[in-house]
Copies of this chain bind each other. A is one copy, B any other.
Amino acid sequence: MIQPRKVVMPNPSPRAVPNQINPPQRLLMGPGPINADPRVLRAMSAQLLGQYDPAMTSYMNETMELYREVFRTENEATVLIDGTSRAGIEAALVSLIEPGDRVLVPIFGRFGHLLREIAERCGAEVHVIEREWGTVFTPGEIEAAIDKVAPKLLAVVHGDTSTTVAQPLDELGAICAKHGVLLYTDATASLGGNTFELDAWGIDVATAGLQKCLGGPSGSAPISLSARAVDVINSRKSIEAGIRVEGDAVSSSPIRSNYFDLAMILDYWGPKRLNHHTEATTMLFGSRECARLLVEEGLPQAVERHRLHGAAMATGLSALGLELFGDQNYKMNNVVGVEIPDGIDGDAGRAAMLNDYGIEIGTSFGPLHGRVWRIGTMGYNARRDTVLLTLAALEQMLRRGGVSVTGGSGVGAALDFYESEGDAA
């Protein structure tokens, strides 16, 4: 039956229609999100494809291959989770953890607390060890805790932007292997801008996001899983009723989430192409371009670029008289913390940077709030011009706020640093 023509009455209470998106120009020099590489945004403007269009599945396969290079792995199971970096963390943890499993979380910043929180919601028996913010654990401290707790899973943040330091992971894989422990790491803030070697370090599962060194928008979470992790997850596989056929797996302890069920997500990305969610095509296009640009540049080259500009920023900030926060031996390449000088209100200083210069710098969480600013140099914004502009504006903001600053000290030190590094622009 064809539905009859409907007489459409005018909308009785039309709401005002706001204008098109037209964001003010910002230079995002906080701990992320940062400005997206314009090439990533252009890739995201491509028209959509059907979910099983051969062109679409080819793009999915290429994306898997590109992220293998970004994670430095041969893992077949290297895909995207359709959500922000936090979605990637939850997909990893809820798929690995069965209620009652023991999980060890070394906490050295805000995102360690997040891992604990998510693992607890997965029903894990979570044990934590804690370190003062700005410091990291020795491998021995972590092994001692593993000895004591005998966890199924060690879940640890790599670079924690809340403290600007990165936990060294290179010895943890061997320790975990020795104790039969799975090793998960959240590499959201570090990947692409700091050395990260998934296979060489023996990491079982790593997740990331686009909004830091990858130079894209938040909303897609790359993940890579070792064969051992995939086995653990597949042992819990349940094909959902709506598409289940005779003989398909039905688990007695299914993964608690459908959306984050990596067993099903891997069947969707793998040769079976079993329908799960409708892939977020535009985010996939962006995610693919983030990785494509990194692979084109070369991962070691991208890490070196982050080191260079991160060090130039830190040098300039020191020369402005600001004290750097945290153990600088473990500083991430892409973000630096500075103590807010006496007499300056942290939020007012940030507001002045934003309103007067269009530059965003970061506040801090928890014990560091009001005490530390965080300044990033990552992804598309790991550049000489962004470093020098930020230092120039900071000098003006500090002076205006009553701090005694030597004119040109920050920019001068950074320029000298670039010269000493042979980067004479």
Contacts and interface: CB of A to CB of B under 8 A. Distances in A.
Given A66-B15, A365-B275, A2 B241 contact: no
A186 interface: no
B2 A28 contact: no
B116 A11 contact: no
A42 B6 CA distance: 32
A69 B50 CA distance: 29
Interface in A239-284: 240-243, 254-260, 275-283
Interface stretch (A84-92, A226-234, A383-391, A394-402): A84-92
Contacts of A32: 278
The oligomer's copy count stands at 2
A173 interface: no
Interface string A360-387: 1000011000000000000000000000
Interface string A267-307: 00000000111111111011011001001101111011001
Contact of A329 (B1, B42, B333, B360): B1
Contacts of A28: 48-50
Nearest to A91: B259
Interface stretch (A19-27, A136-144, A177-185): A19-27
Given A32-B278, A84-B280, A280-B219, A43 B15 contact: no
Contacts of A82: 83-84, 87, 218-219
A129 interface: no
Contacts of A164: none
Interface string A35-62: 1101101111111111101011001001
A343 interface: no
A336 B87 CA distance: 34
- Chain A's interface size range is 35 or more
Interface in A104-154: 110-114, 116-118, 121-123
Interface in A1-33: 1-3, 5-6, 8-11, 14-15, 17-18, 20-26, 28, 30, 32-33
A1 B328 contact: yes
A192 interface: no
A87 B44 CA distance: 21
A248 B145 CA distance: 30
A292 B20 CA distance: 8
B298 A10 contact: yes
Nearest to A280: B219
A41 B123 CA distance: 40
Contact of A86 (B55, B62, B258, B288): B258
B366 A243 contact: yes
Given A110-B243, A300-B11, A51 B69 contact: no
B299 A259 contact: no
A314 interface: yes
Contact of A47 (B39, B41, B329): B41
A116 B255 CA distance: 15
Given A33-B278, A121-B254, 9 more contacts: A2-B328, A21-B43, A21-B285, A22-B46, A24-B55, A41-B47, A53-B360, A118-B258, A121-B256
19 contacts: A21-B289, A23-B47, A23-B49, A26-B49, A34-B48, A45-B45, A48-B211, A82-B218, A83-B280, A84-B280, A86-B259, A110-B243, A114-B258, A117-B241, A121-B258, A217-B283, A219-B282, A242-B366, A243-B365
